[in-house]
Each structure stands twice: as C-alpha cells, then as structure tokens.
Amino acid sequence: MEDLFALRPELQNSPVDRLIRGRASAFESAALNFRFAVTPYYLSLASLETIGPIWKQILPDEKEAADPLFQQPDPLAEESHMPVPGLTHRYPDRVLWYLSHNCAVYCRFCMRKRKVSREDSAPNVEARKAALDYIRSHTEIQEAILSGGDPLSQSDAVLASCIQELKEIPHLVSVRIHTRMPVTCPQRITDSFCQMIQELSPVTLVTHFNHPVELSDTALEALGRLRKTGNLILNQSVLLAGVNDNAETQRSLNLALLKAGVKPYYLHQCDEVKGVSHFRVNLETGVNIQKELRGRIPGPAMPLYVIDLPGGGGKVPVDSSYFVDGDYPDPVFENFQGDLFFPLGDQP
C-alpha cells in the first residue's frame, strides 16, 4: 500500500488518504491469491477526492477474500477446454491463446484471477510451439485471439514472431489481439510496435476502456498511433457496479470511443469469478441501460451487451432471442449450440 503514496505523494492527507489506508486488511488478504499492481500513469488518473472509477478497479476489497455469491475460480471452464497448455478451444472456429499472464495493472474484476499475476502459470517457449502446432493441425480454426494477462507485456519480437507464424497458417482468416495497454500503459504503444503490426496487417486490436476518464490525452494519442496502422480497433467493456453502471457514463464512454475511431464492440456482464461479485450489476439494469442508449447515440457507438455463460457455454447477447426463460431473478439462457445454462440470478 505504501507504494501508492510513494508513486503519488499528493495522496497523503488528501480526502482519499484515510479511505485507502482503511483497506490495509483487504490488501493483505487479497495478496494471498492476486497481486496488486498499478502503473504510475494509470494511478495519475485516480481522483484525490473520492474512491471513483479508477480506484474501484484497482483497490483490493475485503469481499474478494469472502465472496458470498461467486465461488468458481474458472466459471467459464477455460481450463477444461484447453487441449494444450496455454490454448483454449471452446468455439469450433476460434482459439484463445494466452501469451502472458502479466499485466500492467491487475484489475480487481479480472476473469483470470486464478492464474494472472502468478509467474508459475505463464506459458513458455515449448507451450507456444505446442499451441502453434495445434492450430496448424486443426483446419476448422479460422481465428486466433492473442490474450493473457496482456499479450503486450511480451516484447515486440515475441509478438511479431507469434503473429507471423499465425499469418502463415492457410486456414486462419483472422488474428486478434486483446490488450488493456492503451488504457493502463499507453506508453507501450510505441512507434516500433505500431510499425510491426502495420507490416503484419490486417490484425484486429481490441482495447478495454471501461470509463470516460480513462480516455486521457495520452490514451487518445496512443489510439491515434494505432489507427494510423490501418488495422481495425474495437473496444470491449465490463459492466461494473459503481464504475459504469448507468446510461450517462456508457453514453459518454462510447461516444468518446467512436470519436477516437474505436468501435464499441462488447459490453460484458461481469463474469462469475470468485471474489468479484461486488462488481456485479443485475441483468435487468444492463438491459435497461441498453434501452436508454438505443436511438440516442449513433448506431456504431452501440456495443452489444453479452454474457459469457458459466460452464463454458460461450458468449450470447442478453436479449430475448437467447432467453429461454426471461425471468430476471432466475434467468435461463440458450447458447449457440442450443444447450441450456443457468447463470446466478439477481439475488442480493
């Protein structure tokens, strides 16, 4: 905790000083399973007046160690759909390839808290080779998604090698990179990185802005550099209680993204990961936010509200066509294969 005050001395004796120090036990209990880390840049965006959207995403909470609702460390069953280490093959036509389990900032709502920030879980060179061999041998795979952790915590050389290997696989039609670096460490979006992905174009880049305050001048400059590569840039957000769970915040965020040349892609229902239920927004609230936005912002600024079904069902839109039983307290969803899934309802 003291590192926070060393990184940003003006926190001392500010209105948030006492509130941060009041979480000392949360830092201790959370550290047993999930590290705390923040970049000086991202910390600079945090308010000195109140525990606002940046603080809520980075500060440990007592509820992480004693979650009354979410109990599964891997609710999306990524491990059970892992044919080789570091590669999840859940949908028939795509794979999720984890290049790193490190991030610039460890977000408290992380869907992979079970392994992100743990050095012993990071894929090695042999695992990367096995993943590439698997992709080459499965011609039904059309897309490879580079994820983590954050794949941009790897060097440009490693990223270029992985992307080049993927580009040489004839049945792949898409390579996607999911990264939060433009949000948490935009300085990582260097000219050399941009030159590399421009040379390997087309590559789809998916960022992860959750709140308008994250779209600082520095972040916008990084997005501008990415746009000049000619690659498609999308954004996915997570609907988080106390952070962005109202229509006005969503409106401001998505309009600012569109203005920056980034397409709002997904608005995710918070995954049912152990230790994060205090971030949970009920489904009815999420649906109503979408209703308030529709027709009031340009169509390209509207993200698709989705839920990643627990048990490995995959993502489906939160709309009537996927509700088998649309009763919000006890929803039943049907996935792309027609299987039924039962997310935790809107219990208190």
Q: Mean pLDDT by 10-residue block, N- to C-terminus, for the chain (348 residues)? A: 84 91 87 86 96 95 83 82 93 94 92 78 83 98 95 96 97 98 98 98 98 98 98 98 97 98 96 90 90 91 93 82 58 76 62
Backbone angles phi, psi at 168, to 5 degrees: -90, 0
Taking CA 205 as the corner, what is the angle to CA 180 and CA 246, rounded to the nearest 5 degrees?
Answer: 55
Ranges in the chain annotated CATH 3.20.20.70: 71-341
Catalytic residue (one of 271, 280, 305, 322): 271
With a CB cutoff of 8 Å and minimum separation 6, the contacts of 302 are: 254, 264, 290, 293, 294
Sort 213 into a burial class: Cβ within 10 Å, 0-12 / 13-18 / 19+. Answer: middle
194 is catalytic: no
With a CB cutoff of 8 Å and minimum separation 6, the contacts of 281 are: 239, 240, 241, 245, 269, 270
Task: Report pLDDT for 136.
Answer: 98
Q: Determine how many CB atoms are found less than 10 A away from the CB of residue 32.
A: 8
315 is catalytic: yes
Catalytic residue (one of 74, 103, 176, 280): 103
Task: Report pLDDT for 66.
Answer: 82
Q: Of the candidates 104, 27, 67, 26, which has an alpha carbon nearest to the alpha carbon of residue 270?
A: 67
Catalytic residue (one of 17, 61, 91, 346): 91
Catalytic residue (one of 41, 63, 108, 110): 110
Backbone angles phi, psi at 334, to 5 degrees: -115, 135
Assigned CATH class of 71-341: alpha beta
> For residues 139 and 171, is the Cβ–Cβ distance under 8 A?
yes
Task: Report pLDDT for 347.
Answer: 46
162 is catalytic: no
Strand order through the sheet with 94-98: 87-88, 94-98, 143-147, 174-178, 204-207, 233-239, 263-269, 304-309, 314-317
Catalytic residue (one of 56, 63, 107, 113): 107
User: What is the 8-class DSSP label of residue 306?
Assistant: E
Task: Report pLDDT for 336.
Answer: 64
Task: Report pLDDT for 348.
Answer: 39
Sort 262 into a burial class: Cβ within 10 Å, 0-12 / 13-18 / 19+. Answer: buried
User: What is the 8-class DSSP label of residue 228?
Assistant: T
Give CA–CA dist 22/275, Å, rounded. 19
67 is catalytic: no
Catalytic residue (one of 90, 113, 114, 176): 90
Give CA–CA dist 57/150, Å, rounded. 16
Reported as type and span, the H/E element at residue 304 is strand 304-309
Give CA–CA dist 301/255, Å, rounded. 6
94 is catalytic: yes
Task: Report pLDDT for 191.
Answer: 97
Tell me the pLDDT of the chain averaged across its residues. Answer: 90
Return the CA Rg of the chain.
20
Catalytic residue (one of 63, 94, 108, 113): 94
Give CA–CA dist 133/97, Å, rounded. 12
103 is catalytic: yes
3 state DSSP class of 314 = strand
Catalytic residue (one of 108, 112, 128, 188): 112
Beta strand ranges found along 106-199 (DSSP E)? 143-147, 174-178
